[in-house]
């Protein structure tokens, strides 16, 4: 097993307007990611946004490192297609103006807006890899 060490540094700064900025940098030994800086309504919101962007960069790196032809279908010796397992991550963010959270939710899920405008990563995984997916109903 190869050990990769390093740190992810999180620094939140309060602004005069009551908002927060989260500055985050990753210094992992094999692949450093540049510093990111994102604003949020609270320090938790700013950290969440920064973490999501950092996670998105690493999902993209993981997908690119696999160097997989997205249209290729592998076949067994008998000619049957080989079924593979993929960790599919769909990430969608938007800013909505609405009278309530319920209205913002309804405006978001109507039609195919989320799927059409989402960033989607496909990372091929071993069938026995213990990756747990979450649904919109999971509690934090």
Least confidently predicted of 23-27, 65-69, 129-133, 135-139: 135-139
Percent of the chain exceeding pLDDT 90 equals: 28
pLDDT digits (tens, 9 = 90+) for 19-64: 999 998 877 766 666 677 899 999 999 999 988 888 888 888 888 8
What is d(CA 125, CA 93) in angstroms, rounded to the nearest whole number? 26
Mean pLDDT computed over every residue of the chain: 83
What is d(CA 90, CA 5) in angstroms, rounded to the nearest whole number? 28
Neighbouring CB atoms inside 10 A of 46's CB total 25
Q: Which CATH number fits domain 1-67: 3.30.160, 1.25.40, 2.60.40, 3.40.1350?
A: 3.30.160
Domain boundaries, the chain: 1-67, 68-140
pLDDT given at position 79: 94
pLDDT over 80 (residue 3)? no
| Three-state SS letters, 61-119 | HHHHHHCCCCCCCCECCCCCECCCEEEEEEECCCCCCCCCHHHHHHHHHCCCHHHHHCE
pLDDT digits (tens, 9 = 90+) for 87-101: 888 888 888 888 998
pTM: 0.73
């Amino acid at each position: 097993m190869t050990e990769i060490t390093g740190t992810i540094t999180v620094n939140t700064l309060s602004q005069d307007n009551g908002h927060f900025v989260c500055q985050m940098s990753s210094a992992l030994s094999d692949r450093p990611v540049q510093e990111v800086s994102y604003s949020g309504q609270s320090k938790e919101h700013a950290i969440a946004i920064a973490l999501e962007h950092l996670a998105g960069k690493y999902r993209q790196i993981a997908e690119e490192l696999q160097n997989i032809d997205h249209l290729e279908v592998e076949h067994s010796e008998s000619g049957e297609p080989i079924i593979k397992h993929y960790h599919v991550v769909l990430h969608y963010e938007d800013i909505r103006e609405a009278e309530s959270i319920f209205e913002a939710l309804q405006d978001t899920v109507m039609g195919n807006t989320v799927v059409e405008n989402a960033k989607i990563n496909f990372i091929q995984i071993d069938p026995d890899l213990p990756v747990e997916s979450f649904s919109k109903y999971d509690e934090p």
